[in-house]
């Protein structure tokens, strides 16, 4: 039986070979190739940094085969594009062309394209283009356009800060491959409008002091370095865990982060245990979003967080273990899209004594019915209060209710719509979120005008009765 099957397969193979041998190749100028895309557009890339690979298909939908005398890059190696045709890289050895490429009728061919663009000498991204030319046996030339945006960056392998230092964009992004380390006693200032791009194993380790000084119309942005897309609809910049995040060690105090967008890190910010009589970190008008670990983790530290958004993390958006904490006018929302086993939006505990934690005028919400998780350890202080907040948690009816004043307890019905009722855009399919308030939000006009800050996350004035959360409606 096996021999019979083998014989049949061999016969079919010989038949196919015979068919291929009998294939006629068109010389008609009317017979042309078809491409899966009219233009092959690569994502924006940093100059001299190889891009990800993109592919497209070449189809022969004609009744006869088509022979390409050559497939070649029009500009050779001048633009930085690299092309693989049928397993052959177009390079200097073959004159950046593949010869005698045949497509039988009904056949297809996959072509791969990459780019390592040269330095363009400009501060803004510059378009780079070339043509991939298919020269048919008929004499017809078909051109497929290749294009990408190339962006010059200031490249830093690693930055060790031993003295007071200021870095700014200078019109160019800053690309950091191995991280920043601020030594004890040193200060790093990051100027308004600066964007820092970190490779996957890079982050900021702070033993001294970090001072980020963005403005309402010129935020500092700290993110991963990948400019390409995982899928056509999904930039890598919307994926968590693209870089390591910011870590404040025990020796670090008086750190300030203002008007800063920190996103797509592993842990957004980690504060190690330290002297709680000294301010560890002040965060104002800032965003920590889409982290694969914690958004903000504070262990036995003294922190202040005002007018800030901390959202979408695999672990807790905010995690506080002991110390002192003031959180006012913040949006803490847990709609992390990549794992249903996500942590709660807000967790506080007293493995270390929780001397004082006040949460004012803030939204704490997310998919799960209970987004507030408090855990007291025996014999340790556990002092906290929530006032003028919107919280997605069951109504507190125990003796702990004295710590909850002027609270709007969010309904746990229709969990999938809770975000859409609160916020402008909750789009898990495209992993796009806008946490400005929607017109149905229960947070509108519910803050305390005495304790709420006068400005919101964007620098907008809170006129009249302010809204709960980081953004004024």
Q: Is the dihedral of CA 155, 226, 431, 339 positive or negative?
A: negative
The whole-number pLDDT of residue 416 equals: 65
Rounded CA-CA distance 452/88 in Å is 64
Whether residue 315 has pLDDT greater than 70:
yes
Whether residue 42 has pLDDT greater than 50:
yes
Tell me how long the chain is. 473
- pLDDT (tens digit, 9 = 90+) per residue, 75-113? 998 999 999 998 999 999 999 999 999 999 999 999 999
pLDDT interval class at 231 (50, 70, 90) = confident
Token pair, residue 363, equals 């939204």
Rounded CA-CA distance 371/310 in Å is 13
Please report which helix (H) or strand (E) contains residue 421, including its range. helix 415-422
Burial 99-119 (b: 16+ CB within 10 A, else e): eebbbbbeeebebebbbebee
- pLDDT (tens digit, 9 = 90+) per residue, 127-158? 999 999 999 999 999 999 999 999 999 999 99
Q: Give the mean model confidence (pLDDT) for residues 6-11.
A: 41
Please report which helix (H) or strand (E) contains residue 423, including its range. strand 423-427
Q: Judging by DSSP bridges, how do beta strands 165-167 and 255-258 pair with one another?
A: unpaired
Whether residue 3 has pLDDT greater than 60:
no
The whole-number pLDDT of residue 255 equals: 98
- pLDDT (tens digit, 9 = 90+) per residue, 377-416? 989 999 999 999 999 999 999 999 999 999 999 977 766 6
Rounded CA-CA distance 449/468 in Å is 10
Rounded CA-CA distance 326/44 in Å is 40
The whole-number pLDDT of residue 254 equals: 98
pLDDT interval class at 321 (50, 70, 90) = very high
For the 22-150 domain, the top CATH level (class) is mainly beta
- Domain ranges for the chain: 22-150, 152-437
Whether residue 19 has pLDDT greater than 70:
no
pLDDT interval class at 20 (50, 70, 90) = low
Residues 6+ away with beta carbon under 8 Å from 311? 287, 288, 289, 290, 295, 317, 331, 332, 333, 334, 335, 433, 435
Rounded CA-CA distance 84/43 in Å is 18
54 with 40: CB under 8 angstroms?
yes
pLDDT interval class at 16 (50, 70, 90) = very low
Whether residue 289 has pLDDT greater than 50:
yes
The whole-number pLDDT of residue 17 equals: 43
Whether residue 7 has pLDDT greater than 60:
no
Phi, psi dihedrals of residue 237, rounded to the nearest 5°: -65, -20
Whether residue 281 has pLDDT greater than 90:
yes
Residues 6+ away with beta carbon under 8 Å from 21? none
278 with 248: CB under 8 angstroms?
no
- pLDDT (tens digit, 9 = 90+) per residue, 162-181? 999 999 867 789 999 999 99
Phi, psi dihedrals of residue 106, rounded to the nearest 5°: 80, 0
Whole-prediction pTM: 0.89
The whole-number pLDDT of residue 9 equals: 43
- pLDDT (tens digit, 9 = 90+) per residue, 413-447? 766 677 888 999 999 999 999 999 999 899 999 99
Token pair, residue 109, equals 């061919």
* Cβ neighbour number for residue 176 with a 10 Å cutoff: 23
Residues 6+ away with beta carbon under 8 Å from 12? none
Rounded CA-CA distance 358/403 in Å is 10
Residues 6+ away with beta carbon under 8 Å from 14? none
- pLDDT (tens digit, 9 = 90+) per residue, 258-274? 999 999 999 999 999 99
- pLDDT (tens digit, 9 = 90+) per residue, 330-346? 999 999 999 989 999 99
């Amino acid at each position: 039986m096996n021999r019979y099957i083998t014989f049949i397969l061999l016969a079919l193979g010989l038949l196919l070979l015979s068919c291929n041998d009998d294939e006629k190749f068109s010389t008609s100028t009317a017979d042309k190739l078809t491409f899966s895309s009219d233009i092959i557009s690569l994502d924006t890339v940093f100059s001299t940094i190889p891009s990800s690979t993109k592919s497209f298909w070449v189809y022969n939908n004609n009744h006869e085969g088509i022979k390409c005398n050559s497939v070649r890059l029009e500009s050779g190696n001048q633009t930085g594009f690299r092309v693989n045709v049928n397993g052959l890289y177009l390079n200097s050895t073959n004159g950046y062309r593949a010869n005698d490429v045949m497509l039988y009728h009904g056949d297809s061919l996959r072509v791969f394209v990459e780019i390592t663009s040269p330095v363009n000498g400009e501060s803004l991204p510059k378009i780079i283009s070339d043509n991939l030319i298919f020269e048919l046996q008929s004499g017809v030339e078909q051109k497929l356009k290749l294009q990408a945006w190339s962006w010059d960056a200031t490249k830093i392998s690693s930055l060790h800060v031993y003295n007071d230092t200021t870095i700014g964009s200078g019109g160019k992004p800053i690309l950091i491959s191995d991280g920043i380390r601020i030594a004890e006693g040193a200060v790093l200032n990051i100027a308004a409008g600066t964007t820092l791009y970190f490779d996957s194993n890079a982050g900021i380790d702070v033993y001294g002091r970090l001072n980020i000084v963005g403005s309402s119309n010129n935020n500092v942005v700290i993110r991963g370095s990948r400019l390409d897309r995982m899928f056509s609809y999904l930039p890598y910049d919307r994926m968590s865990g693209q870089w390591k995040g910011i870590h404040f060690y025990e020796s670090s105090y008086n750190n300030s982060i203002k008007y800063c967008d920190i996103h797509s890190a592993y842990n957004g910010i980690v504060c190690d245990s330290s002297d709680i009589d000294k301010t560890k970190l002040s965060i104002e008008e800032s965003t920590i979003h889409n982290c694969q670990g914690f958004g903000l983790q504070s262990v036995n530290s003294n922190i202040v967080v005002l007018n800030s958004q901390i959202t979408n993390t695999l672990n807790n958006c905010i995690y506080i273990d002991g110390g002192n904490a003031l959180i006012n006018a913040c949006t803490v929302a847990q709609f992390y899209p990549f794992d249903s086993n996500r942590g709660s939006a807000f967790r506080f505990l007293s493995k270390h004594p929780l001397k004082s934690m006040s949460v004012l005028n803030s939204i704490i919400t997310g998919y799960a019915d209970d987004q507030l998780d408090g855990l007291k350890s025996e014999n340790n202080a556990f002092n906290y209060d929530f006032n003028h907040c919107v919280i997605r948690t069951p109504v507190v009816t125990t003796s702990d209710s004295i710590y909850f004043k002027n609270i709007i307890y969010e309904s746990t019905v229709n969990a999938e719509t809770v975000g859409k009722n609160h916020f402008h855009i909750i789009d898990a399919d495209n992993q796009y979120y806008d946490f400005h308030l929607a017109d149905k939000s229960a947070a509108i006009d519910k803050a305390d005008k005495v304790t709420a800050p006068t400005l919101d996350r964007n620098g907008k004035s809170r006129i009249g009765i302010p809204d709960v959360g980081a953004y004024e409606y």
